[in-house]
Chains A and B, each alone.
Chain A
Amino acid sequence: MTTRREEIFSVLQEIGLPAVRVKQGSAEVIEFNELFSSLINRAAPRDYRLWFVEGVLARMTDADRTSCEVAFVNRTPVQVQVTFKAINGRALNLRSFFSVGQKKVDQSVVWVFIPLANQILERVRDAHLSEGRELERLRMRNELHQGVSQQLLGAAFGCKVLAGKVATLSEELGKEASDLAKLVNGAVIELQNLVQSNENQS
């Protein structure tokens, strides 16, 4: 029969998160899942009880270690960043957080490590980026259609009206106003092409 604790570590293993439970004062390892083991034992000593001290704490910045100590005292969760070395030698950044047992008798701490870059997270990140790009494209499309197009349309008709009125006052001014109307017409046509290419992409 599996205990609740074992179940938690098993679930964390299944969803791909390394996890370890350590004693609160000494940071001695009590239990861990295979992912944590595979993460830590390449560079850590053989005695698994020291894995956390030498394999995790040693890789933290002084500031993060201080944050952990404060969290221990206050019995609050905390997040720190730990960098491990992957098999291929590349740096593997993991955001870790731990929660302290709420019962006074439970003087242990569970640490869960969340990879900042793995295949799943990269896919999620890519999906977010792609979604962001699509939202931005839609925003620009709406802006183009509802904003710029509409204003330029009004300006094109306004210039044409102006050119017609000015032409009755002065031939020279009328020609200038007519040139202005042509200029706006040119902008309208350029924007038409842009709108068209945008429509073709969607």
Chain B
Amino acid sequence: MSSLRVFLVENHQDTVRYMQLFLEQLSYKVCIAADMATALREIPNSHCDVLISDIGLPDGDGWQLMEKLGDHRPHFAIAMSGYGTGNDQLKSRAAGYDHHLVKPFTPDALLALLREAETFTAKDTQS
């Protein structure tokens, strides 16, 4: 059972719906936002451990989101994008994301990263 709090920023309705159900089935606590403005407003008070954000958002992009979050950035962040060129991946790294998933990806690929986030968060809490 996981107690990680995940904040999901994605504007594709079906994707966000099933990702949320999938994560909740695995006992993650999930908050969602469909655009950057909502995410910026809600993340600081959500106390989330992991941010999963699409790079292409209706009112900006996932890289700007990280920059604007500043000190409110979660400990662990995963970018999702339909574009997986080296440049996109570098930009995600530079923006502060720990990983960049290229869409489409399997649920298992996301799960593997969340396991890593759990380990990371556990170590962070101990230290």
Contact = CB atoms under 8 A, between A and B. Distances in A.
Interface string A136-153: 000000001110011111
A66 interface: no
B30 to A, nearest CB: 12
Contacts of A189: 106
Contact of A160 (B14, B22, B82, B83): B22
SS of A interface (majority): helix
Count class of interface residues, chain B? 20 to 34
Interface string B91-112: 0000000000011111110000
Contacts of B104: 149-150, 152-153, 156, 188, 191-192, 195
A158 interface: yes
A151 B102 CA distance: 14
B37 interface: no
Nearest to A158: B18
A149 B82 contact: yes
A192 B106 CA distance: 10
Contacts of A132: none
Given A188-B104, A188-B106, A199-B83, 12 more contacts: A144-B82, A146-B82, A150-B15, A153-B105, A156-B104, A157-B18, A157-B21, A157-B22, A160-B22, A160-B107, A161-B25, A164-B25
